[in-house]
Amino acid sequence: MTTTVVGYPRIGSHRELKFAVQKYFKNEISAQELSDIAAGLRQSNWQTIADAGIDTPVSNDFSYYDQTLDTACLLNIVPERYLKLELSPLDQYFAQARGYQGAKGDVKALPMKKWFNTNYHYLVTEFEDATDIKVVGTKIFEEYAEAKAEGFSTRPVIVGPYTLLKNAKFTGVKRPFDYAEDLVKAYSEIFAKLVSLGADWIQIDEPALVKDQTEEDLTLFNDIYRPLLDAKGDLKVLLQTYFGDIRDSYQLLTELDFDGFGLDFVEGTETLKTLKSEGFPEDKTLFAGVINGKNIWKAHYVSKLSLIDIIQKYAKDVVLTTSCSLQHVPYTVKNEVKLTNDKLKYLAFAEEKLTELVELDQRKEDALKANDALFSQPRYEENQAILDKVDALKPSDFNREPSRAERAKIQKAEFDLPELPTTTIGSFPQTAEVRRNRSKFKKGEITKEQYDQFNRDQIKACVEYQEEIGIDVLVHGEFERNDMVEYFGEKLEGFIFTSHAWVQSYGTRCVKPPIIWGDVARTQPVTVAESVYAQSLTDKPVKGMLTGPVTILNWSFPREDLSFKESTYQLALALQDEVLDLEANGIKIIQIDEAALREKLPLRQSDWYRKYLDWAIPAFRLVASKVQASTQIHTHMCYSEFDDIIQAIDDMDADVISFEASRSDLSILDTLQADQFETHAGPGVYDIHSPRVPSEEEIATTIRKISDKLPLDNIWINPDCGLKTRGVEETGPSLVNLVAATKLVRSELATHEG
């Protein structure tokens, strides 16, 4: 066998690309300097991959911002409004990525969407009726040639035409089929050019194939690929899939004239089954994705080798590879100087995964032995009490009594809130001083007492401010939190933290997820002190503020030796203790944020409940199931596309939910209305992602729209999301307008009723 990878991270092991691109944005470096830094990063990737002993590295997996945008630009699929700016190709590219405001115009960025089931976000390609598809870019050719000149014989990769179309937006009357012919022409031209440069293979990424495929989808695929493969000439074409299996297209695909198929044996739960039942074409190469491209754990060689043995029974020509691009994992464990070897020896980031592929390929005895030794000992000490608690869970543990309708009556009497109660999502601006206080404490420049006192002063000012402007249900402001997941991870048992394990989330933004290392347990109160202090300052209710179990799981690196369901139940039990502790200490409203509930929703709709919602929703319910009827449970979600899972969200059985709505034109209201959504709801009345201050009238208009569609008793008034990324300058006026608008609508409603 030989070895390869689907793709490699590109942001730089110390985020060099992020910083360089940001400097370019600020005009601190030139396009040439940026290009030199990028070339250095590519060179270092190829060298690392070659040094590890991988047979074939890839090229064109580098990107200044996003590979989908790269492909669109290569093919001249650039909306008119950006073309009109007449910028250099690089600046036109960045204008689409992040918007342009300057001498030549004012244009917003392309919309961004989650890249399948990852936390990476791509820029949505926009096809207009006038889009003139042709090969205008040079990046793929230049990077192939650059690698070759440096002595690396690579397989260039590109996002495939089918995935490009499936992930795109169509602004005119033309539909995907209308672009097929031009795409075929353009990709054929790319093939020819690559052959002339000396390429043997091309890798075409078509992850869209792992979703449920309709007849029409398969026809589109067929219409594109039959003629395209006729034009491949001497080039060998690898059809690369990832993030799942291709059970519904396998037959069609293997009949087409591809030279190789990249299949995911990690997330593709039916890949092996399909291989066994359908076989594999004799004259083709199987690129077997056996090493997990998303997780950070070392692979267990014994089980991987037995998988490889089975694969080899069905395919003669096998190349070992990763399950998806390694862009979803950090660079290397070598940078983690703070973790000790008893932890490090279990971790494999991108660079270490290269070694795993080579060791699996070579089956060298000492490597296999060492790996086996690692897995023959327990990695961590189990927390038997927690395991028993999860085992003992029974249906009633997930059920809150009495019913939501009953609770609503009790809570109405309990809180006596005005009609259209106002609140915020939790965080207040994290000013420079707030961040400085944290960093001083981390560096040991101030004591814990000084650190806490500063935050208490912030809480006090925040509570007083909310009282002063007339908000009904207050928050403490979350000044003690750097990140809504890391904060809980640090206080719960079972997590470990890295110092450099950054993963690209989009463009120049990276995240550093905590790692769930062992059984999760709550050994101390997490949020009680801050909440109780805030509540002591006011007679109005102050919301306790927690991050929900599903969101903590989804924004961490999960364990591989325990199911997501069990891990999430452990988290839920820890949070349940926190909820009950808050309640016992006089906190009467508790918000449990599920900002990332949608993150791991399976790509195939047919799997939504069976594989995800059937435990994710109960996990949330478990957290809140034991509180008194008079305690009000809120939740919050950071997006508005939940039309398709609306029932599941109502089934979370929260009393109140707040969510993002203002950017999507409140279209969600119709769904809430149609589904007779029971949870009381606060659709965000203004967009906190922008520094713009919404006027009183603008917010009043939004509130009127909401009150037209939802029962008045069910409505809450709040912004879209937390305010932590906003400045104080815009937050104050926006909230003042929110309260004024609410009062205005209240009085309008009163006159109507009167």
Residues 483-502 that bind ligand GLN (CB under 6 A): 484
DSSP at 622: H
Nearer to ligand GLN, 437 or 547 (CB): 547
Q: Looking at 400, 621, 634, 724, which residue binds ligand GLN (CB under 6 A)?
A: 724
The kind and range of the H/E element at 263 are strand 260-264
The DSSP code sequence of 13-50 is TT-HHHHHHHHHHTTSS-HHHHHHHHHHHHHHHHHHHH
Under the criterion CB under 5 A, does residue 485 sit at the interface with Zn ion?
no
Select the binding partner of residue 155 from Zn ion, ligand GLN, none (C-beta < 5 to 8 A, by kind).
none
Q: Does the active-site annotation cover 689?
A: yes
Stretch that binds ligand GLN, among 233-241, 503-511, 605-613, 717-725 (CB under 6 A): 717-725
Residues 542-601 that bind ligand GLN (CB under 6 A): 545, 593, 595
Cβ count near 352 (within 10 Å): 20
Measured from the CB of residue 581, what is the shortest distance to ligand GLN in angstroms? Answer: 18
Give me 615's structure tokens.
Answer: 């435990």
Handedness of CA 693, 698, 700, 706 (dihedral sign): negative
Under the criterion CB under 5 A, does residue 592 sit at the interface with Zn ion?
no
Q: Looking at 507, 548, 549, 722, which residue binds ligand GLN (CB under 6 A)?
A: 722
Under the criterion CB under 6 A, does residue 650 sit at the interface with ligand GLN?
no
Nearer to Zn ion, 455 or 718 (CB): 718
Measured from the CB of residue 234, what is the shortest distance to Zn ion in angstroms? Answer: 52
| Largest interatomic CA distance in the chain | 86
Nearer to Zn ion, 721 or 739 (CB): 721
Give CA–CA dist 312/314, Å, rounded: 5
CB 663 within 8 A of CB 685: no
Measured from the CB of residue 424, what is the shortest distance to Zn ion in angstroms? Answer: 11
Tell me, residue by residue from 620 to 639, as one string, x for binding to ligand GLN by CB under 6 A and - for no binding.
----------------x-x-
Q: Which is nearest to 70 in space by CA: 7, 26, 15, 118?
A: 7
Stretch that binds ligand GLN, among 379-387, 408-416, 424-432, 615-623 (CB under 6 A): 424-432
Q: Is 230 helix (H, G, I), strand (E, B) or coil?
A: helix
Residues 456-485 that bind ligand GLN (CB under 6 A): 478, 484
Q: Looking at 426, 541, 602, 719, which residue binds ligand GLN (CB under 6 A)?
A: 426
CB 85 within 8 A of CB 95: yes
Q: Which residue lies nearest ligand GLN, judged by its C-beta?
A: 722
Nearer to ligand GLN, 260 or 489 (CB): 489
Stretch that binds Zn ion, among 40-48, 116-124, 228-236, 637-645 (CB under 5 A): 637-645
Q: Looking at 347, 623, 721, 723, which residue binds Zn ion (CB under 5 A)?
A: 721
Please give the torsion angle defined by the CA atoms of residues 56, 62, 67 and 72, in that order, rounded to the nearest 10 degrees. Answer: -100
Give me 366's structure tokens.
Answer: 């000492």
In DSSP terms, which residues pair with 317 in a beta bridge? 285
Q: Is 450 helix (H, G, I), strand (E, B) or coil?
A: helix
Handedness of CA 55, 57, 58, 61 (dihedral sign): positive
CB 689 within 8 A of CB 697: no
CB 284 within 8 A of CB 319: no
Q: Looking at 638, 668, 669, 685, which residue binds Zn ion (CB under 5 A)?
A: 638
User: Which phi and psi angles does 245 have, rounded to 5°?
Assistant: -110, 170
Nearer to ligand GLN, 11 or 590 (CB): 590
CB 254 within 8 A of CB 314: no
Which spans of this chain sit near Zn ion (rule: CB under 5 A)? 595, 638, 721
Which spans of this chain sit near ligand GLN (rule: CB under 6 A)? 425-427, 478, 484, 545, 593, 595, 636, 638, 721-722, 724
Catalytic residue list: 689
